[in-house]
Structure 1
Amino acid sequence: MPFTICMISNSTTRRNNWTCWLLLWGAALLICCIDLAGVPLRDWDEGTVAQVAREMSRGETWAAWLHPQLWGQPYLNKPPLLHSLIAVCFQTFGVQTWVARLPGAILTATSVPMLFLLGREVLPTRLYALMGAGVYLTWLPVVRHGRLAMLDGAVVCFFITLLWLLRRSQRQPWAYLGVGACFAAMCLTKGILGGLLLAIALLWVLWDAPKEWRSPYLWGGVGLGSLPVIGWYALQWQYYGDQFVDVTLLNQNLSRVWDTVEDHQGPPWYYLLELLKYSWPWLIFWPTGLWLTWRSRHTAWAKLILVWTVGYLLTISVMSTKLPWYIYPLYPAMAMTVGVALAATWNRHRHWSGRELTLKRIPLGWAILLALLSVGGAGGMVYASSWGPEPSLALAATGLGVMLTTGLAAYWAVRQQTRFIPILMAGLYASFLALMLSDHWLWELGEAFPVLPVANLINGQVPRDASIYMADFYNRPSLDFYCDRRVVAQPSAALLERWPQETPMYVLTQNLGPYQSGAAKTTTLGMAADWHLVVNQ
């Protein structure tokens, strides 16, 4: 009889876990994939990744997939796993903006329920896992960046799955094969980052279950996973020789540790500033979660969070090259930490034990900071209203949602009511869903001219085999993608020097005067986004 009750209990637990998994996945797919075509691809990575994938999809032989190119030149920046997935989607659905973003968005959405499964393996109860996954689902940088045609969402999905399999493999050694497969997927997506993330995972195992380090299954799985990585790198080196070593291994990977690439630099606290800018409101609860994690440092879940947080944050902070999206793999660990704080708050009427954590009362500081965020949401609503400087119904709805959500959460937190937690999660999800339906979720596009009107002008006026130049100091990969050709950026002085000598010469410029005053006859073909398209005759 006890055995039967145990079997029923285990079956119910598994069914409930998979129900939660499906619900989280459905919610994540909606917010990650909705209106992916609402705004164009951004520079630099999105435009470049999409163009590499398009050239792969056009390849007539396997070499186009194994040795990808960008505008006819070897593409040696990153391994092409995600590019290949996008290329398959291009062949299936056609070359479109939403198609370029679709694989990364699906993998980002999948990382949400996978974080829940990881939590079920290591955290005390289902409540902690649900809290962590709910926080991760409504973490703005995760949703926003994960929707892009970039590599980070895919790498994080593979890493979370690797950690989940690593934990399960202590009971089921066959799962070590999955660990190796995830390691291979990380390395074939973003190169050396896969090695760093594997090192973090292995340090966790060494601290929590040192006997597993002597397991032949562990090293056998990692070894098998290394084979496709070694094979791919060996084929690239055999094909490109020293060029591959210099560009891929050194310039695009190792040199970023000790040298600044393309002037992307910052102080050691650069990523702490990134957290302060974009991680609200969940950043409010992170210090409490870290304190509770340190108190529980004898447990497997606390060891994982500490190794993940300290190891990864320290590594990217000491690197010379600083880019905002380098912090992305830290967000799942932070979400788990915040989930611990929220679960302890939910359990605040219980006494602390080895299995449960609890807070005696909800800190007043949480309510104060949530109230300040409510004021900020009201400001955003006014900014996007019909009488504000940038009217947008969806953006105004986002501001309204943030104002009401954080305001109500602050009210219930002051009253020591834990209902502020589901209000915060549900309200943020609805608010961010509205943001994804607006044209403002990818706000970096406002830093430069819109590419779609200019691309339409070029495609309508410039012959396919003609060269076209832009009087500017830097190229726009997104413009190149939508034009399906290179729009070469050169300083205006250099273009004006060649203007009387080369015909026909197509130029995009914001200043017509110098081109009209030259000896060559100038024809204006159109104007878009303050750019004039001219040609000499």
Structure 2
Amino acid sequence: MQLVLIQTIVKFKPSRLPNLSRCSWLNLSHNWEWLGLSGICIAALILFGLNLGETPLRDWDEGIVASVAREIWRSYENGNHWLYPTINGGQPYWNKPPLVHWLIACSYSWFGINEFSTRIVPAMLSALSVPLLYGIGKEIFTDSKAVVFSTLVYLTLLPVARHGRLAMLDGAIVCFLNLTVWCLLRSRRHLRNLLGVGLGLGLICLTKGIMMGLLLGAILILFLAWDCPRLLKNSWFWQAIIIGIIPVLLWYGLQYLRYGQAFLGISLGDQTFSRIWSSVNERQGAPWYYLLEILKYTFPWLLFLPGGILTAFTYRSSSWAKLALVWSGVYLVTISLMATKLPWYIFPIYPALSLLIGVNLAKIWHSGRRYPIIWSQILRLSKTETARTGVPQAIIFIILSLACYLASIWFGLVSSPPDYNLLLVLGIMALTLTIATVMLLRQSRQFIVTLFIGLYVALLLFFSGFHWVWELAEAYPVKPIAAMLKQATPSQQIIYTSYPYHRPSLNFYSDRVIIPTSHEELINYWQQEQSIYFLIEPSLSEQLHLEGRHVLGTVDHWQLITKKNCSTNCY
């Protein structure tokens, strides 16, 4: 039915359709360039800033980052304690350097401690990475279409927009990486921009550690060795890098003077370089793990990536091709060989992939009714009547749009209760892909504009709901339980739980330390400790035969218990 409808629509003449190729934002002259860039910045600020405070923080990075930032905020009045970050009531935090944590602590001073103030700084840094990628495109492309398309592809990639909104370190890393690359490209003409290269690498090291700085710095050096080796022989380049890493060395030196060898063993060992050859928290995967991540979350732009890679190899003597190939290739191979596999490790590759996709989209745009060779190979275009109707060209979009239609009907009409947010999001996606399919069948390049607009609107609707932090559905909600813990236990109290995994978000919301414990250990603690609190399932308290227990509260099938003598004497 959908195919018949599409073929019927295709028969109409497109003479009355607006000629989007004449839009001023796609033909950026000098007079319109700043207006176009301002529009991109506003779109990024809206997308990354929408509805940040209505969804609870998720476990692991968000909960950990928020807890560390809160303790830094609390220590502002205690002298220089902000230099030595802590977590869980005073335990040294050696996982990552505290640059983003410092910025979030400042946000707490301005907006209070809540989800919005926790996410706003990483989100705005991620939004800043969008115009920085635009600046990179201006340095390497002579075609304004490639600049704009690369930037808009990056803006409308789901993993970029979603991870960039979370209170994590990766959005800041990509922002500082884009800043470093932009300054590096500009330094080929003006050496004073080398100072920005050193500053960017220093910010990267102060955000996620020395190993990330070494990896990204090595990628930039490889690019320079291929494209502009004279800069590597310039003393200003190395002086700028030394200036940039001085604050990093000072911070690491202060930690070593305070904590000694233990800091180096954990910060540079267990939490950094050991991730190369051993997995952390059993987060291992196959070498193609990150290829699957790209396949899962980059549609529909993934369809245009092979053509971009082929174009880059064809024009590999160009600076843009060298940068995109070295950036994406070296980074992907490196993280794929690491033993530890985490989904957000792939984040710094998306600017490079956006450049490749943007180049291919610009090539399609300029080709008019003729598609590049890669499309002919993939879609098997021929001179047959079927090819002239355009059905093979749009087969993937038809499948995707059908899937979106079915999913929107399921979530909006079949499931109980109906989920109208997903109904709207999937409906917009289905409509976007349908219109894009029609334009593809007409071999109209305006399908590119349709995809940009439709994906942006769909992302806005998606982020206006609560599904965008889908990890929250993997475990019980923490805020009701945290409220019970705050009401019934002393501040900074250690609480043992039968839940098998750490919940950093529960630690943050409750301002308590909740430790996963086996059943045998629970029994031992109950027998040995006088003042003790358990967060366990109600049936487990009967099963463990915990004598003299006093129930302080029950929320969502979780029970807070203590000893009867503790319930009256612990405060």
TM-score over 0.5 for the pair: yes
Answering whether residue 505 of structure 2 is matched by residue 478 of structure 1, we say: yes
Alignment check: 8 A CA contact 2:495 2:514 kept: yes
- Return the match for 1:46 from 62, 66, 69: 62
Alignment check: 8 A CA contact 1:500 1:518 kept: no
Answering whether residue 396 of structure 2 is matched by residue 380 of structure 1, we say: no
* Closer/same/farther in 2, CA of residues 134 and 208 from structure 1, 3 Å limit: same
* Closer/same/farther in 2, CA of residues 403 and 268 from structure 1, 3 Å limit: same
1:65-110 residue CA offsets vs partner (Å, 9 max, x unmatched)? 2111112111111111001000111111111111111110001011
Alignment check: 8 A CA contact 1:349 1:360 kept: no
Matched with 1:187 is 205
Q: Which moved more, 1:319-328 or 1:234-243?
A: 234-243
Q: How many residues align?
A: 520
1:346-397 residue CA offsets vs partner (Å, 9 max, x unmatched)? 001399xxxxxx7379654652212211122123312321422563221211
1:275 to partner: Cα distance: 1.1
Matched with 2:101 is 83
What does residue range 293-442 of structure 1 map to in structure 2 within 5 Å? 293-349=312-368, 359=372, 364=379, 367-388=394-415, 391-442=418-469
Q: Which amino acid aligns with 1:26?
A: I
Q: Which moved more, 1:231-240 or 1:461-470?
A: 461-470
- Return the match for 2:118 from 77, 100, 107: 100
In the aligned structure 1, how far is the partner of 2:287 from the partner of 2:544? 51
In the aligned structure 2, how far is the partner of 1:390 from the partner of 1:202? 55
Q: Which amino acid aligns with 1:457?
A: M
1:484 to partner: Cα distance: 1.0
Q: Which amino acid aligns with 2:295?
A: L
1:129-165 residue CA offsets vs partner (Å, 9 max, x unmatched)? 1000100110000011111111000010111111111
Matched with 1:56 is 72
- Return the match for 2:153 from 112, 115, 135: 135
- Return the match for 2:135 from 105, 117, 125: 117
Alignment check: 8 A CA contact 1:361 1:416 kept: no
1:273 to partner: Cα distance: 1.0
1:186 to partner: Cα distance: 0.6
* Closer/same/farther in 2, CA of residues 461 and 221 from structure 1, 3 Å limit: same
In the aligned structure 2, how far is the partner of 1:504 from the partner of 1:198? 52
Q: Which moved more, 1:335-344 or 1:523-532?
A: 523-532
1:16 to partner: Cα distance: 3.1
Matched with 1:160 is 178
SS of 1:264 mapped into structure 2: coil
Alignment check: 8 A CA contact 2:369 2:443 kept: no
SS of 2:466 mapped into structure 1: coil
Matched with 2:244 is 225
In the aligned structure 1, how far is the partner of 2:253 from the partner of 2:31? 45
SS of 1:285 mapped into structure 2: helix
Alignment check: 8 A CA contact 1:348 1:361 kept: no
In the aligned structure 2, how far is the partner of 1:524 from the partner of 1:209? 70
Q: Which moved more, 1:461-470 or 1:413-422?
A: 461-470
Matched with 2:40 is 24
In the aligned structure 2, how far is the partner of 1:474 from the partner of 1:513? 17
Q: Which amino acid aligns with 1:301?
A: W
In the aligned structure 1, how far is the partner of 2:243 from the partner of 2:374? 50
1:408 to partner: Cα distance: 1.3
Alignment check: 8 A CA contact 1:52 1:83 kept: yes
In the aligned structure 1, how far is the partner of 2:44 from the partner of 2:59? 25
Alignment check: 8 A CA contact 1:496 1:515 kept: no
- Return the match for 2:274 from 244, 251, 255: 255
1:13 to partner: Cα distance: 5.0
In the aligned structure 1, how far is the partner of 2:393 from the partner of 2:550? 63
* Closer/same/farther in 2, CA of residues 90 and 136 from structure 1, 3 Å limit: same
Matched with 1:37 is 53
1:319 to partner: Cα distance: 1.0
1:328 to partner: Cα distance: 0.5
Alignment check: 8 A CA contact 2:368 2:445 kept: no
* Closer/same/farther in 2, CA of residues 62 and 186 from structure 1, 3 Å limit: farther
SS of 1:332 mapped into structure 2: helix
SS of 1:525 mapped into structure 2: strand
Matched with 2:568 is none
SS of 1:174 mapped into structure 2: helix
Answering whether residue 471 of structure 2 is matched by residue 448 of structure 1, we say: no
Structure 1 unaligned spans of 5+: 1-11, 352-357
1:504 to partner: Cα distance: 5.0
1:524 to partner: Cα distance: 3.0
* Closer/same/farther in 2, CA of residues 213 and 463 from structure 1, 3 Å limit: closer
Alignment check: 8 A CA contact 1:284 1:366 kept: no
Provide the aligned C-alpha RMSD in A. Answer: 2.0
1:103-131 residue CA offsets vs partner (Å, 9 max, x unmatched)? 10001011111111110110121110100
Alignment check: 8 A CA contact 1:512 1:532 kept: no
Q: Which amino acid aligns with 2:153?
A: V
Answering whether residue 167 of structure 2 is matched by residue 145 of structure 1, we say: no
Matched with 1:289 is 308
* Closer/same/farther in 2, CA of residues 415 and 223 from structure 1, 3 Å limit: same
User: Matched residues, percent identical?
Assistant: 41
1:503 to partner: Cα distance: 4.6
1:177 to partner: Cα distance: 0.9
Matched with 2:92 is 74
In the aligned structure 2, how far is the partner of 1:33 from the partner of 1:366? 36
In the aligned structure 2, how far is the partner of 1:240 from the partner of 1:464? 26
Matched with 1:236 is 255
1:501 to partner: Cα distance: 5.4
Structure 2 unaligned spans of 5+: 1-27, 380-391, 565-571
1:19 to partner: Cα distance: 2.3
Matched with 1:271 is 290
In the aligned structure 2, how far is the partner of 1:257 from the partner of 1:516? 43
In the aligned structure 1, how far is the partner of 2:289 from the partner of 2:516? 31
Answering whether residue 92 of structure 2 is matched by residue 65 of structure 1, we say: no
TM-score (norm 2): 0.87
Matched with 2:235 is 216
* Closer/same/farther in 2, CA of residues 523 and 244 from structure 1, 3 Å limit: closer
1:297-345 residue CA offsets vs partner (Å, 9 max, x unmatched)? 1110011001011110011111111111111100111111111111111
* Closer/same/farther in 2, CA of residues 393 and 519 from structure 1, 3 Å limit: closer
